[in-house]
Structure 1
Amino acid sequence: MTVFDAVKDSLIEVVPEVDPEQVTAGRSLADLGCTSIDRAEVVTLAMERLGIVVPIGEFRDVNNIDAIVDLLRKHV
């Protein structure tokens, strides 16, 4: 599983009304209808899928899929 796939699958699980085709690398989570709580859940679930732990505070200013993927890749 790639990091992007882990984030995409997590996003679709947390916010099932999101059209999977709209989940692209540069998309803002807010544009996809995610709240800050949704974002934290997406990140947490993606970390579980990848078997890694990143302090949630590192995601404080992260608000798009690319940024989440980049940050998670640093810990894979």
Structure 2
Amino acid sequence: MNKTDIFEIIVRHTYEVIPELESELIKPSDQLAQLGANSVDRAEIVAMTMESLSLEIPRVELFGAKNIGELVDVLYEKSKSV
């Protein structure tokens, strides 16, 4: 799985959790909070993405990600070490 695949999974889950965003073009530089995702939405998007990737990592390891692109980077690196 490459970074583009992971990005597409995050976008898909973002649209599932916040359907009103479906008309928005989500970019790697976007922040989930700026897109209108509250903390519960963000946690759900991350949990759904990790489940899709079959990853079990502590959420604290994802806190450094400032935007969706950085979240993709972290998840990609973690997926390579599984």
Q: TM-score, normalised by structure 1?
A: 0.85
Aligned to 2:14: 11
Structure 1 vs Structure 2: percent identity of aligned residues?
Answer: 36
Aligned to 2:32: 29
Deviates more, 1:8-17 or 1:19-28: 19-28
Compared CA separation, residues 56 and 11, structure 1 to 2 (3 A): same
> CA offsets per residue over residues 2-47 of structure 1, 9 Å max, x none?
1111111111111111135421111111221011111111110001
Aligned to 1:41: 44
Aligned length: 76
Amino acid at match of 2:36: G
- Cα root mean square deviation, aligned: 1.6
Counterparts of 1:47 and 1:20, CA distance in 2: 24
Q: TM-score, normalised by structure 2?
A: 0.80
Unaligned runs of 5+ in 1: none
Aligned to 2:68: 65
**Greater Cα radius of gyration, structure 1 or 2:** 2
Check the 8 A contact 1:30/1:63 in 2, yes or no.
Answer: no
1:53 matched to 2:56? The reply is yes
